[in-house]
Amino acid sequence: MAITKDTIKYVAGLARIGMTGKELEHFTGQLDRILEYVHELKDLNVSGLEPTSHVMEMKNVYRADRVRPSLPVSEVLKNAPDKANNLFKVKKIIEKI
Amino acid sequence: MQYETVIGLEVHLQLKTKSKVFCGCSTNFGSPPNTQTCPVCLGFPGSLPVLNREALKLAAKVAIALDCQIAKKIRFDRKNYFYPDLPKAYQISQFGQPLSGKGYIMIFVHGSEKRITIRRVHLEEDTGKLFHKEDASFIDFNRSGMPLLEVVSEPDISSPDEAYAYLRSLKSILEYVDVSDCNMEEGSLRCDANISVRKAGSEKLGVKAEVKNMNSFKAVKAALYYEQLRQIELLDSGSRIVQETRLYDSVRNVTESMRSKEEAHDYRYFPEPDLVPFDLDPELVRGIGREIPELPGPRKKRFISDYGLSDYDAAIMVSDKALADYFERAVSLYKNPKVVANWLMGDVAACLRERGGAIGGLNLSPEDLTAMLKMIEAGLISGKIAKALLPEMIETGRDPGSLVKERGLQQISDEGIIEKAIVEVISENQKIVNDFKKGKDNAVMALVGKVMAKTRGKANPRKANEALRKKLK
Ligand SMILES: [Zn+2]
């Protein structure tokens, strides 16, 4: 099984989390133990069960195509770290325009 | 070295609903930034999406029109990635159980027909819109959560011309089923292309580039021509092609590496726990199918068999639903389909090009157009007068009868008036008259022309011709 340090580094990268060498070491062991525990599920006999993505017995929940009021722009931008001209402002994403 | 090109197209289409796909915000285009947003489409914690029934219905309509296998059970999934156009850090899309499986589109290129397989059609939410400036990027979330349909083709397309034909065919079908504005400039229809080249006859696919940022079908074609050549030149010079995303620059007509800060994609799809699964009851699907009008493919065949149009003419007539409807209405009033088609493709199309816009917005009813055609047939006006009359009818929206009367444009069949013009023409054009008498038969046409000019196009040309020949015998 064994989660490697590379796996932790990769997952941390996907989540945009920086880690020190010591943290990497720490979480590698920890996550490995967690997964091992979860893998106990593998011993269960599930041959008679349908694969399921939702635990509730509910389906086909729709809403009608009706417009409802949106938020005022002041509310929308209230928690924005930075803004300009009613737009959210973020660090530049593409290097060239 | 001979190469072959392999192209697959991904088309994104905004569906014409009143409200967004998972919340009640308006889908109106062009509103001030961030005025059509709410906790759901801004991804606020605790908010929950609920599927818009109409969005699913329109999506199913497209899938049925493309002959796709509609799934019995569908589900939504989260597509995870960090990018500021997504406030939730995931997009609600479909992965494991999409709306449909395979379908197809027929395309026509250089006179031959080809079947392009559609891989799948699925429903998802649109992202916010980004604006990049020198020092920062800016986001408008009005577009976030708009219902978006993704139509993915198999890499069956083997040239930029075929890609263009595919887009035309797809757009035509989409307009027939009336689910989207299909406006590339406003972004309600977008297209990304995957393109690679390989040695002719090779089984293995070459390394592909994903080309984005094309805002018209012509731009897609131009970008693919550029990219095809770029890849061939690289291979010919012994270089390797790098798998990457490239942006098309329409001003310089080149594609350029995007050099994004994004790393390799790993979307980690998993079922969206906030949305329940959906059953697409076959009876419901059949009901949606019944709402689909006759599509361009079958309609073209019918135009050929019922109206005797040529393959080419029929293809033009059905390419635009409004035009095809117009044609059929006109043919019901004036039973000469070929003449109607010629006027629609000729003078009417020319007026449309000049004025811009579509046939639906034209100030010319099928009733007025066919009334004019009947006047030509009855010899009341000449074809030439009709050509001059048409733009005026469109300009004023008036019927041809009253315009002709008011302007005194009735064709002159009165032999006395024609006779008078002929006498003048003969005395003024002795040289042509002599040519004719020496046996140059078509010199008479020049004289007919002079008679027409003298009567300001109103003489009946057949009558003028006969009378001239009689006179010069
Ligand atoms: Zn909303």
User: B152 CA distance to ligand 1 centroid (A)?
Assistant: 27
**Any idea which fold B415-472 has?**
Arc Repressor Mutant, subunit A (1.10.10)
Q: Where are the domains of chain A?
A: 5-41
Distance in angstroms (rounded) separating the CA atoms of residues B162 and B107: 7
% of chain B beyond a pLDDT of 90 = 66
Helix (H) or strand (E) holding B254: strand B254-257
Chains A and B form CB pairs within 8 A to the count of 135
Whether residues B132 and A61 touch (CB distance < 8 A) is answered with no
Chain A environment of B25 (Cβ under 8 Å): 67-68, 70
pLDDT value of position A97: 38
Of B134, B137, B278, the CB nearest to A93: B137
**B273/A65 Cβ within 8 A:** no
- Nearest-Cα residue of chain A relative to residue B273: A54
For residue B15, the distance in angstroms to the closest alpha carbon of chain A comes to 12
Given a cut of 50, is residue A12 above it in pLDDT? yes
Greater pLDDT, B413 or B175: B175
Distances B208 to B87, B359, B473 between C-alpha atoms, Å: 30, 40, 76
Confidence (pLDDT) at A2: 77
**Rounded Cα distance, B100 and B63, in Å:** 7
Is the separation of the CB atoms in B216 and B248 below 8 Å? no
Using a CB–CB cut-off of 8 Å, the residues of A that contact B are 13-14, 16, 53-54, 56, 58-71, 73, 76-77, 82, 84-97
Residue B412 predicted with pLDDT over 80: no
- CA B256 / ligand 1 centre spacing (Å): 35
Distance of CA A71 from the midpoint of ligand 1 (Å): 8
Query: Chain A residue closest to B270 (CA)?
Result: A53
Q: What is the 3-state secondary structure (H, E, C) of B162-225?
A: HHHHHHHHHHHHHHHHCCCCCCCCCCCEEEEEEEEEEECCCCCCCCCEEEEEECCHHHHHHHHH
B33: nearest CB among A86, A92, A93: A86
A63 and B55 in contact by Cβ < 8 A? no
Spell out which residues of chain A touch residue B271, defining contact as CB-CB under 8 Å. 53-54
Q: Which residues of B touch A62 (CB under 8 A)?
A: 50-53, 56
Q: Does B25 contact A87 at a Cβ distance shorter than 8 Å?
A: no
Find the closest chain B residue to A72 by CA distance. Answer: B35
Q: How far is the CA of B26 from the centre of ligand 1 (A)?
A: 8
Going B204 to B209 to B213 to B215, the CA torsion angle's sign is: negative
How does the average pLDDT of chain B come out, rounded?
Answer: 91
CA separation (Å) from A67 to A60, A96, B36, B285, B297?
A: 20, 38, 10, 25, 36
pLDDT of residue A96: 46
* Rounded Cα distance, A17 and A19, in Å: 6
Does residue B275 have a pLDDT over 60?
Answer: yes
Question: Given pLDDT bands bounded at 50, 70 and 90, which one contains residue B69?
Answer: very high
**Domains of chain B by residue range:** 3-288, 294-407, 415-472
Question: What pLDDT does residue B152 have?
Answer: 97
> What is the phi-psi region of residue B57: left when phi exceeds 0, alpha when psi lies from -120 to 50, beta otherwise?
alpha
Distance CA B238, CA B229 (A): 14
